[in-house]
Amino acid sequence: MNERLESSNEMRAARPREPRAGRLRPMFHAALAAAGFVLTAAAQDAGSPAPQFAVDDTAQARASEFRTLDEEVQALKKLAVDLNRDLFLLEEELLFPASTQVSVFVSMDVGEFFALDSVELKLDGKDVASYLYTDREVDALYRGGVQRLFAGNVRAGEHELVAFFTGQGPHDRAYRRGASLTFEKGIGPKYIELKISDRESRLQPEFVVVEWE
């Protein structure tokens, strides 16, 4: 038995031992290789250009398209207004030629002694126009507005125009007054104005019919 033990010990002593450094060398090389891979990848990332992102121009294109469309709409509106004005003037020339045209306008000045409600117009004894005013329309006349009450055709010669004004006079009393004008219709158009103003001296409204020169 002692001989066997001695023989076993001799075999262990005779077997060559691998140094510890030799066993750690493969692990060291593997770590270096991994570190080298990481450094190489980092170097490649540092030297590579920054990623490029495509710019989406859809929003800008749509905004430009909307601006163009809005400009076209505004141009069409202006064209429609101009066309409507031209058609109106053409209609005026066709319906009321200068040789027979008569136009009557209404205006007001101050208006402290008279609040206008309505106007009636007679031409050569015939009712040709009547108008009932709103508060807003009366206010527009107070601020200098002029309303065309009547436009028609009459033959050349002498004619009589009579206007009746209805409203509230001094002390809020019902008030109705008339004014007339005899005029001569010539070759050109005739323009007549019904003027409502205040007569300070009498504290009464005044109604005058005048011809435009």
3-state SS assignment for residue 133: coil
- 1-11: b (≥16 Cβ within 10 Å) or e: eeeeeeeeeee
User: Which tokens belong to 157?
Assistant: 């010669």
125-134, long-range: CB within 8 Å, 24+ apart, which pairs? 125/160, 128/152, 129/104, 131/106
Percentage of the chain beyond pLDDT 70 is 70
User: Which tokens belong to 19?
Assistant: 């140094």
For the segment(s) 101-211, the CATH number from 3.90.480, 1.10.3470, 3.40.630, 2.60.40 is 2.60.40
92 confidence band (pLDDT: 50, 70, 90): low
Q: How many CB atoms lie within 10 A of CB 108?
A: 23
118 confidence band (pLDDT: 50, 70, 90): very high
Using CB atoms within 10 Å of the CB of residue 53, give its burial: 0 to 12 exposed, 13 to 18 middle, 19+ buried: exposed
- Find the mean pLDDT for residues 126-140: 94
- The answer to whether the beta carbons of residues 149 and 191 sit under 8 Å apart is no
- Model pLDDT for residues 103-113, shown as the tens digit of each residue: 999 999 876 78
- Find the mean pLDDT for residues 90-116: 82
What pTM did the predictor assign?
0.57
Domain locations in the chain? 101-211
| Predicted local confidence at residue 179, as pLDDT | 94
